[in-house]
Chains A and B, each alone.
Chain A
């Protein structure tokens, strides 16, 4: 009983804020997704908009003219998520554990260093990435030095899918793969669905991992403080090596945090926009446009922007993320942890 009162009064202020400034606007956007509102016509005009039912959804996700654009952006986003989330999580964990070691000198320096990408100007970051990955840039030179047979890759403009490239090594390509791959599912051929991220998208993914790892490391760092040092001391007495302690003590105790980091990573990467906006170019639009970018472009770009259509795409993205999160909770062990 006391818990009920305390619980409600503890969550109420935050819930009121979130409800008013995020959920209500979401409901408004949801409503607009069933209209033909341009987003600029004043709402106090009697002819501001008309209800159009599911027309916007139909146009973008069922069988309208933009279905293939939508599903292509879904494919691009899925590959982005699948690539970025595991790597950034693992890297953040390793970094946090390392800078938390007692024997490490200059912890403050390393912690700050690893956090720097999160605060460095995105413009400079994209400059440097474009330089690193340019035709005659260090990445190509390095690869050439290690593998003499390596041909320089145009990292930022290549639209070839990584899976396609891999299959090509085994002689499988669009012409030899067989008719099954031409079957169209949701606006795209199976062959297009299984492309893997394009080389250009892969480059953007590297940048994303580099910039977000620092933030996730901070979350892991704060969680590591919760593991009493006595646990490690006991393990040490038992003769456990550092690696064993990491596997059998640190990792299980960090489970809730890992779960949290993965959930947030999933939600965040599904909405990837900034990195795409900064690094995309005309040539790679087809393989790097994410769903969130499509939402933005539909709402604000071109001669006939439509906030209503953008809202419809955004609602569908919301549903995709929700389902993905539910799947992750079910299958990636939400049994112990809640978040």
Chain B
């Protein structure tokens, strides 16, 4: 054992020596920029963006942190009050972080906000002010397996497809080991039909409208695939998620976002697939959901620091070469947040993904308002119960809506 103690002492001394690596104090404006790790190509893109910024603004020192667990790390920094000047905000975190006073108002500072898709602007707007600039986004589309459609002798989903057409196709496509539709028990899938059918969480008077007939019709439609056997949940197709079930060819259709492009092309290069807009509802309207993230500036950045921070946000999201245009040219799945570059994006990735872009015009960011966590949980629970056929879609929606009504009453 003696040897071990000597070793211990030695190691301690070594450790202390290592500590002598002290941070050099940077001169002038220092911008701390934090974001979460995403796919390797996207990480590379972000680093290229930052490198270009450094070149364009040589007086500003940028300290970039790509975090392995962003949610935990940024929360610690927020709590301590000492947090980065520029950081990314997911759409679901936005209401809380904005209410916590963490974000600087960007209405004046963000470059030509009118170019940004309205659905995305809405996701990051509170009290009439735009807080941060969307960096890119995804929408949901209807993925279909071309070979399976051909085999069944069916027309591919077209622009005038309705819910009924989709149901009929799903039934026709269900044979042997294949089901027509892979339907995850996830509210962020069926709520595309919810918004598509004209339903909303709250009506114009601010009352809970979640269990409106149009809303119930949407969940009933989504659940009908499971109920009539023309669809299954990905778990029942031996898959972790819709994309996997679809890629394996276990389902002929599913609903997924832009992230499916890279996944399917990397993981299932042999499958022959296309993407269409979601079908038209009985009301003749269409909807989809959007998922986005923005670059925000700290509410605590002032003076030169704030100016440098907004310069960076505009550099990363604006109309310059490394902003939305850069996203379009990189083409790693997500789309540029500014409409003027969507054509460029399609040129990069291929016209066959046009349905994702088309959805941007009417997409809704499905964000539950602050303080409605129990409502959110009730919708999750209700979705599972409806999809496992344990409860009726109308009942679970009414139950969830009642939770929302209770919360609303408590608030007043």
Contacts and interface: CB of A to CB of B under 8 A. Distances in A.
Interface of A: 38-45, 65-66, 69, 130, 134-137, 154, 156-157, 159, 281-286, 300, 302-306
B96 A134 contact: no
B235 A135 contact: no
B95 A282 contact: no
Contact of B81 (A42, A130, A137): A42
Nearest to A304: B373
B235 A281 contact: yes
B319 to A, nearest CB: 31
A286 to B, nearest CB: 6
B399 to A, nearest CB: 11
B247 to A, nearest CB: 15
Contact of A302 (B92, B97, B381): B92
**Size class of B's contact patch?**
35 or more
A36 B383 CA distance: 28
Contact of A283 (B102, B233, B368): B233
Nearest to B390: A159
Contacts of B259: none
A305 B79 CA distance: 14
Given A40-B97, A283-B387, A303-B92, A157 B236 contact: yes
B377 A130 contact: no
A311 to B, nearest CB: 13
A281 B182 CA distance: 14
B255 interface: no
Interface stretch (B70-78, B114-122, B275-283, B348-356): B70-78
A38 B96 contact: yes
A44 B381 CA distance: 37
12 contacts: A40-B75, A40-B100, A69-B377, A135-B236, A157-B235, A285-B380, A300-B75, A302-B376, A303-B95, A304-B370, A304-B371, A305-B96
Contacts of B97: 40
A304 B373 CA distance: 5
B96 A157 contact: no
Contacts of A135: 236, 238
Nearest to A43: B79
Interface string B91-109: 0110111001110000000
B367 interface: yes
Contacts of A281: 234-235, 240
Contact of B80 (A43, A136, A137, A305): A43
B302 interface: no
Contacts of B406: 65
B320 interface: no
A156 B83 CA distance: 41
Contacts of B238: 130, 134-137
Contact of B235 (A38, A137, A284, A303): A284
A38 B102 CA distance: 12
B284 interface: no
A300 B72 contact: yes
Given A283-B233, A300-B72, A44 B81 contact: yes
B184 A282 contact: yes
A251 B40 CA distance: 53
Contacts of B403: 65
Contact of B78 (A41, A156, A302): A41
Contacts of A304: 95-96, 368, 370-373, 376
B81 A45 contact: yes
B374 A154 contact: no
Given A281-B240, A283-B387, 5 more contacts: A41-B78, A41-B100, A282-B184, A285-B381, A285-B384
A41 B101 contact: yes
B79 A40 contact: yes
Nearest to A44: B81
Nearest to B238: A134
Contacts of A302: 92, 368, 373, 376-377
Contacts of A65: 374, 403, 406
A58 to B, nearest CB: 13
A283 B185 contact: yes
A134 B100 CA distance: 45
Contacts of A282: 184-186, 233, 235, 383-384, 387
B384 A286 contact: yes
Contacts of B96: 38, 40, 303-305
